[in-house]
Chains A and B, each alone.
Chain A
């Protein structure tokens, strides 16, 4: 992989990020003038004027944008208009929670999805293939919120086995192992909701990719020289089939983040999804800008990593 190739990919990512920064600022202004919302608050005109001035709403949009850019270059995402705290502080609390949930859900869906995809391809046309395909399709086609509601209704409501929301038992004391078990217990249902929703994608991509490779000449040659089917699968099929899966992981991140808003709201999981929902309801523009910037950056970085990884795994990409 040449430096030129890497530099080109990084430049494209930076250009995308710059476009997002601009879009990000003006997107939320289309929702309306936030200063109008202060009017139904029984504020005296001078107090309202003071708040509007403090938040910079009395300046032109161009000036507001210039200040936003300048602050951004200094790592300042502004202050939340609800909590009056720096957006970066708010994000520092929310991001780890989301990474925990999304990370776990992605690992689970990827692991089981690829395993099931390989099995389905290996047993093409057999009942196992059909079962895996149908069940994956059923979960994939279910909206996250509905699947989550089913889980809550059954596991937290009827059976009362699992907590139906929150990050930890309210007021639970004790750290260490107890805390890990407590958070882990609360993670089960939201993680399952996200993971089961995503697993289908990995199953179908893997199945198609593995099935495709199974029919290729080099696999036939490997069989012909006498390698066992499992050895052929392990050494020649799966390594060749994993390329589309890498792309899928990177592309999927944006969708998973979108799904996290619903799942976090449903399970009261205090991550960036829930923070986004609350910021939209409160029209907290600085918070929304910060959240979207972080989300977009995360997706761009993941795509960049996928691009580079892809090139590393497949020489045709970096030469062609």
Chain B
């Protein structure tokens, strides 16, 4: 027994010694619940992939100001400025000279021209949709690139996110294959990091581009020699490894991380909770009986007299206590939605809670709306012309949070006389209901009453996820058809100033809230985690509470190795630690479970060992 204990102790010592060095060796270690699916930006879908390529591995023509994410042409951008013609259809980029690819070749406008043309000509790549408005591209000289747009789009530059690729490398691949290959590894880039190792479901390594043109970063290379992005199938393991010092950054966390971080109170770990761009909504089937550009009319079983009744929609809005979703379902990580536009988009966001279009929780008003709309609520469910105020609400069986919200919605509306029947189904089944085939070719006959789902967007403008409400938008799932909404949102594209654009988008939102094809419920936060003792100089974007990585290109350049230096007003920084020896990093339930199992085994064995069976043949070992 003693020998076994000695061996176990030696093994434990060996294993503890295998922890990676981290910041001391120049590694920035990131854990992600999403797989780094490809080094090729034209086939990347997962956020970790897209955001890494946009902010660390490749440069773009334009940059963003870290503080407010407004367009900026700082040294991290490949263009030093752009001119937009008076009709808004011609954009001329003036590119920076003296920039080199990591293989030593000079960067010119030919690279940018080739990249834009490749994205346009290869129609199935992931970036194609973002520059559909571009009619043609031309490099008029070595450092000038001109984009010609088919129509004015005042937010074109806000939505532009094309990583510029080296023509001399990528042009060897046929255009049609560009989104089918993974591209060369190591990558060739003008950005500060080169992807040197790509491992699916493993660790992808970005190594510092030693040939980075340091005039773009005050004459210095970034501090992190390598960025290690490791895939974790289980987000809770990321949380644990950040807490133990095995990771420096936890990407794509769950709301429950916030609760655990509060309990654990690890002084070397900082929680980040930053508004995301999306909205989580109840969508009512709004396909007109006469059809729209994309639907031939609602499915035959849809309760149109209920879900297309404006008074009922408003009653539902007033009846739901939306304030309780964030604290009870999402651990406080988000904000209640009284509008489609997330508070992430500060330029566009309007606080509507205390306005008539906010529909703040007020069951009495819900009842008034029903009464004014001709609903008789002397019994439950309310009725109108013999039709019961009862409809089906579908949501995803894969999301416990959606189901929880749906159950609370059902309970709330029942109090004002509206009955909801819940259906939990797979996203396939829900898609099949939403996009049921119509009576005419290429038109849908949406076969649902209402569903609870979400739309999410990153970037600097909310319009991509408002465009799904346009009457001819192919991705519409509410099949809302409103000329007033179309006019307002298309007006935003045609606006000639930022103020006009913002006003038009807000106006479109107001039209939507009046008709309520979508009833917004919550805006969620991105929850992430980083160490404060292994790296410092984290730069939140947008300030002051945005994510400190993967938002803008300047963030990785700002990171410095080790804990922050002590200042006159602060206490000396804690020394870096390999792991926090805190019992709280492990849920107590695990420990209690272990003890209970041990007791159960011991108890059962004790009881059972009391019973001796007799054997027909007595066997002894020797």
A21 on the interface (CB 8 Å rule)? no
Q: Residue A264 contacts which of B233, B428, B586, B590 (CB distance < 8 angstroms)?
A: B233
Q: A83–B37 contact, CB under 8 A?
A: yes
B209 on the interface (CB 8 Å rule)? no
B600 on the interface (CB 8 Å rule)? yes
B322 on the interface (CB 8 Å rule)? no
Give the interface size class of chain B. 35 or more
A71 on the interface (CB 8 Å rule)? no
Contact with B along A203-220 (1 / 0, CB 8 A): 000000000001100001
A229 on the interface (CB 8 Å rule)? yes
Q: A215–B609 contact, CB under 8 A?
A: no
Q: Residue B604 contacts which of A54, A134, A160 (CB distance < 8 angstroms)?
A: A134
Contact with A along B462-473 (1 / 0, CB 8 A): 001001100000
B4 on the interface (CB 8 Å rule)? no
Q: B12–A268 contact, CB under 8 A?
A: no
Identity of the chain B residue whose Cβ is nearest the Cβ of A48 in the assembled complex: B474
B351 on the interface (CB 8 Å rule)? no
Q: B129–A42 contact, CB under 8 A?
A: yes
Known contacts A39-B475, A266-B234; is-contact A164 B241 (Cβ 8 Å): yes
CB neighbours of B20 from chain A (8 A):
169-172
Q: Residue B233 contacts which of A149, A156, A277 (CB distance < 8 angstroms)?
A: A277
CB distance from B336 to the nearest CB of A (A): 24
Known contacts A84-B179, A274-B233; is-contact A46 B123 (Cβ 8 Å): yes
Q: A171–B200 contact, CB under 8 A?
A: no
A11 on the interface (CB 8 Å rule)? no
CB neighbours of B434 from chain A (8 A):
39
CB neighbours of B429 from chain A (8 A):
32
Identity of the chain B residue whose Cβ is nearest the Cβ of A270 in the assembled complex: B201
Tell me, in angstroms, the Cα distance from A182 to B45 when the chains sit together: 31
B585 on the interface (CB 8 Å rule)? yes
Identity of the chain A residue whose Cβ is nearest the Cβ of B453 in the assembled complex: A40
CB neighbours of B73 from chain A (8 A):
none
A51 on the interface (CB 8 Å rule)? yes
B148 on the interface (CB 8 Å rule)? no
- Which listed segment binds B: A61-69, A120-128, A304-312? A120-128
Q: Residue A47 contacts which of B124, B586, B587 (CB distance < 8 angstroms)?
A: B124
Q: B601–A135 contact, CB under 8 A?
A: yes
Q: Residue B591 contacts which of A54, A154, A170 (CB distance < 8 angstroms)?
A: A154
CB neighbours of A313 from chain B (8 A):
none
Tell me, in angstroms, the Cα distance from A27 to B45 when the chains sit together: 27
CB neighbours of B182 from chain A (8 A):
83, 85
Tell me, in angstroms, the Cα distance from A83 to B199 when the chains sit together: 12
Q: B35–A278 contact, CB under 8 A?
A: yes
By secondary structure, the A interface counts as helix
CB neighbours of A90 from chain B (8 A):
200
CB neighbours of B614 from chain A (8 A):
125
A50 on the interface (CB 8 Å rule)? yes
B228 on the interface (CB 8 Å rule)? yes
CB neighbours of A47 from chain B (8 A):
123-124, 128-129
A176 on the interface (CB 8 Å rule)? no
A43 on the interface (CB 8 Å rule)? yes
CB distance from B397 to the nearest CB of A (A): 13
CB distance from B610 to the nearest CB of A (A): 9
Tell me, in angstroms, the Cα distance from A135 to B602 when the chains sit together: 9
Q: A283–B428 contact, CB under 8 A?
A: yes
Q: A215–B231 contact, CB under 8 A?
A: no
Tell me, in angstroms, the Cα distance from A270 to B202 when the chains sit together: 7
Identity of the chain B residue whose Cβ is nearest the Cβ of A233 in the assembled complex: B619
CB neighbours of A46 from chain B (8 A):
123
B569 on the interface (CB 8 Å rule)? no
A265 on the interface (CB 8 Å rule)? yes
A5 on the interface (CB 8 Å rule)? no
B435 on the interface (CB 8 Å rule)? yes
B172 on the interface (CB 8 Å rule)? no
Interface residues in B183-202 by Cβ distance below 8 A to A read 200-202
CB neighbours of B29 from chain A (8 A):
170-171
A59 on the interface (CB 8 Å rule)? no
CB neighbours of A54 from chain B (8 A):
124
Tell me, in angstroms, the Cα distance from A82 to B12 when the chains sit together: 40
A93 on the interface (CB 8 Å rule)? yes
B573 on the interface (CB 8 Å rule)? no
B169 on the interface (CB 8 Å rule)? no
Contact with A along B194-236 (1 / 0, CB 8 A): 0000001111010000000000000000000010101111100
A166 on the interface (CB 8 Å rule)? yes
B352 on the interface (CB 8 Å rule)? no
CB neighbours of A255 from chain B (8 A):
none
Q: A171–B27 contact, CB under 8 A?
A: yes
Q: B601–A134 contact, CB under 8 A?
A: yes
Q: A153–B591 contact, CB under 8 A?
A: yes
Q: Residue B581 contacts which of A32, A150, A160, A185 (CB distance < 8 angstroms)?
A: A160
Tell me, in angstroms, the Cα distance from A215 to B579 when the chains sit together: 57
Tell me, in angstroms, the Cα distance from A166 to B234 when the chains sit together: 10
Q: B123–A171 contact, CB under 8 A?
A: no
CB neighbours of B202 from chain A (8 A):
166-168, 270
Contact with B along A136-171 (1 / 0, CB 8 A): 001000100000011011101111111111111111
Identity of the chain B residue whose Cβ is nearest the Cβ of A146 in the assembled complex: B593
Q: A150–B590 contact, CB under 8 A?
A: yes
Q: B609–A127 contact, CB under 8 A?
A: yes
Q: B617–A44 contact, CB under 8 A?
A: no
Q: A214–B619 contact, CB under 8 A?
A: yes
Q: Residue A230 contacts which of B12, B601, B622 (CB distance < 8 angstroms)?
A: B622
CB neighbours of B608 from chain A (8 A):
130, 133-134
Known contacts A39-B475, A158-B591, A171-B226; is-contact A265 B234 (Cβ 8 Å): yes
Q: A50–B123 contact, CB under 8 A?
A: yes
Identity of the chain B residue whose Cβ is nearest the Cβ of A131 in the assembled complex: B605
CB neighbours of B231 from chain A (8 A):
268, 270
Q: A182–B601 contact, CB under 8 A?
A: no
Identity of the chain A residue whose Cβ is nearest the Cβ of B16 in the assembled complex: A161
CB distance from B37 to the nearest CB of A (A): 6
CB distance from A223 to the nearest CB of B (A): 8
Q: A153–B586 contact, CB under 8 A?
A: yes
Contact with B along A57-82 (1 / 0, CB 8 A): 00000000000000000000001001
CB neighbours of B601 from chain A (8 A):
134-135, 138
Give residues in A with beta carbon < 8 Å to B. Answer: 31-33, 36-37, 39-48, 50-51, 54, 79, 82-85, 90, 93-94, 122, 124-127, 130-131, 133-135, 138, 142, 149-150, 152-154, 156-172, 181-182, 185, 214-215, 220, 223, 228-230, 264-268, 270, 274-275, 277-278, 283
Ranked 5 nearest A-B pairs via Cβ: A32-B428, A153-B590, A157-B586, A125-B613, A270-B201
22 sampled A-B residue pairs with Cβ under 8 A: A41-B475, A42-B468, A47-B129, A84-B43, A125-B614, A130-B605, A152-B237, A157-B240, A160-B579, A163-B15, A167-B202, A169-B18, A170-B230, A171-B27, A185-B15, A214-B619, A230-B621, A266-B234, A268-B201, A270-B200, A274-B233, A278-B35
**Further pairs besides A138-B597, A157-B240, A182-B18: 8, Cβ < 8 Å:** A47-B129, A54-B124, A125-B613, A127-B609, A131-B609, A135-B605, A229-B622, A270-B202
Give residues in B with beta carbon < 8 Å to A. Answer: 12, 15-16, 18-20, 27, 29, 35, 37-38, 43, 45, 123-124, 128-129, 132, 179-182, 200-203, 205, 226, 228, 230-234, 237, 240-241, 244, 246, 426-429, 431-432, 434-435, 442, 464, 467-468, 474-475, 477, 579, 581, 583, 585-587, 590-591, 593-594, 597, 600-601, 604-605, 608-609, 612-617, 619-622
